[in-house]
């Protein structure tokens, strides 16, 4: 085995180790951020930091309203749900569009939910959660 062959192999192993380390760190950072649950009070206290960002929140559903939208041209049934979410540190309005046929997507008053939503701070100084996904739902009686 020549010395140049050993140097090339050593260099590849060294670079490969750094690449794997960087990928592992990036994966860990993205998973730890995505798993971070925010309190509504934090969103309301510092809205500029979260404007138009995807956040995860947990709270109790209240003031639930459902609007059924039927589009004849596309033959699509959509339900738009509006409700408030309360977590003990604050209360915020939420909006969620879902397929009406999927009862699993519907939330009800009193449900404890974990939401992934885009936070939007409106000109009227009220935060709105545009729900992308209901990650967890538990009915609380």
Burial grade of 40 (CB within 10 A; 0-12, 13-18, 19 or more) = buried
Domain count, the chain: 2
For residues 45 and 83, membership in a common domain is answered with: yes
Is the pTM of the predicted complex or chain greater than 0.85? no
- Name the residue range of residue 3's domain: 1-34
Pair (54, 109) in one structural domain: yes
Tell me the backbone φ, ψ of residue 42, rounded to 5 degrees: -65, -40
Greatest mean pLDDT among 25-34, 65-74, 90-99 lies in: 90-99
Res 120: pLDDT:
92
Average pLDDT over residues 18-34: 56
- Residue 103: strand, helix, or coil: helix
Q: Which of 30-34, 62-66, 72-76 has the highest mean pLDDT?
A: 62-66
Report, as an integer, the average pLDDT of 2-17.
Answer: 62
Q: Are residues 28 and 53 in the same domain?
A: no
* 23 confidence band (pLDDT: 50, 70, 90): low
Q: Are residues 131 and 100 in the same domain?
A: yes
Position 33 scores a pLDDT of 45
Provide the mean pLDDT of the chain: 80
Q: Quick one: 11 and 45 in the same domain?
A: no
């Amino acid at each position: 085995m020549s010395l140049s062959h050993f140097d090339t192999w050593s260099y590849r192993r060294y670079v490969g180790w750094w690449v794997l380390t960087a990928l592992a760190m990036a994966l860990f950072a993205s998973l730890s951020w995505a798993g971070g649950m925010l309190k509504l009070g934090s969103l309301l206290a510092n809205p500029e930091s979260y404007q138009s960002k995807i956040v995860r929140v947990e709270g109790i559903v209240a003031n639930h309203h459902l609007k059924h939208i039927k589009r004849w041209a596309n033959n699509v049934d959509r339900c738009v749900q509006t409700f408030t979410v309360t977590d003990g540190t604050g209360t915020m309005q939420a909006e969620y569009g879902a397929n009406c046929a999927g009862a699993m997507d519907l939330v009800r008053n009193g449900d404890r939910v974990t939401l992934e939503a885009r936070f939007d701070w409106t000109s009227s100084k009220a935060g709105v959660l545009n729900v992308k996904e209901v990650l967890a739902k538990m009915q609380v009686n």
